[in-house]
Amino acid sequence: MSSLDLKFLHNIQIHLKILRLIVLRSNFKSNFTRRDPHLENANLKRATRKRQI
């Protein structure tokens, strides 16, 4: 292999690592920003019970 081929392979490996990090970060962020509708409904039921008392 020539030095250009090795440099090209090295660049591809670096880009793939960066892409993996971006995907992992976006998955991590989406897991913590997604709202659970069941949790919201449970909180609303609790709030209405307190108001009735």
Name which of 10, 31, 12, 9 is nearest 20 in CA terms. 12
The mean per-residue pLDDT over the stretch 10-16 comes to: 96
* Claim: this prediction has a pTM higher than 0.75: no
Q: How many domains is the chain built from?
A: 1
Provide, rounded to the nearest whole percent, the portion of the chain with pLDDT above 90: 36
Q: How confident is residue 9, by pLDDT bands cut at 50, 70 and 90?
A: very high
Residue scoring higher pLDDT (46 or 32): 32
Q: Give the domain extent around 22.
A: 3-52
Radius of gyration of the chain (CA): 24
pLDDT digits (tens, 9 = 90+) for 28-44: 877 766 665 555 555 55
